[in-house]
């Protein structure tokens, strides 16, 4: 479940050749400023604290994580809440749009 009011972290798949250097790396931290569900697809507009710097130009896959979510319930750890595709990067990399095509549950509680 994605909690709209909580901070969110973006990860991207590494551009490596083996399991030692092809790992999920942090792309940025921020918060969700807008969300929209159309035809089963969820679009999240995320405002980042610092500009997005992509390291892997071959893949637009993005993993979204939130603190205390996923399988880490009520802890300080970051847990995966969704996988999506990076659709757009605006305002010098500070605002990104991620589209999630799988079923997604949104919640406005913290």
Identify which of 43, 59, 54 has the alpha carbon closest to the alpha carbon of residue 93: 54
- What is the Cα Rg of the chain in Å? 13
Angstrom distance (rounded) from CA 85 to CA 89: 12
Q: What is the pLDDT along the chain (110 residues), one digit of tens a residue?
A: 899 999 999 999 887 777 777 788 899 999 999 999 999 899 999 999 999 988 888 889 999 999 988 776 677 888 899 999 999 999 999 999 999 999 889 998 76
Angstrom distance (rounded) from CA 69 to CA 35: 18
Angstrom distance (rounded) from CA 59 to CA 80: 18
Report pLDDT digits (tens) over 60-79: 999 999 998 877 667 788 88
> Which architecture does CATH list for 2-107?
Beta Barrel (2.40)
User: Checking DSSP bridges between strand 106-107 and strand 2-3, what pairing results, if any?
Assistant: parallel
pLDDT for the residue 58: 86
pLDDT for the residue 56: 86
């Amino acid at each position: 479940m994605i909690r709209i009011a909580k901070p969110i972290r973006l990860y991207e798949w590494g551009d490596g050749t083996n399991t030692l250097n092809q790992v999920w790396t942090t792309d940025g931290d921020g918060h969700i400023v807008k969300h929209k569900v159309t035809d089963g697809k969820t679009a999240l507009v995320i405002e980042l604290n610092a500009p997005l710097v992509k390291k892997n130009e071959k893949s637009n896959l993005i993993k979204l994580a939130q603190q205390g979510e996923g399988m880490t319930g009520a802890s300080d750890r970051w847990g995966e809440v969704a996988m999506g595709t990076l659709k757009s990067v605006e305002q010098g990399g500070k605002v990104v749009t991620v589209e999630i095509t799988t079923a997604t549950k949104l919640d406005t509680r913290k």
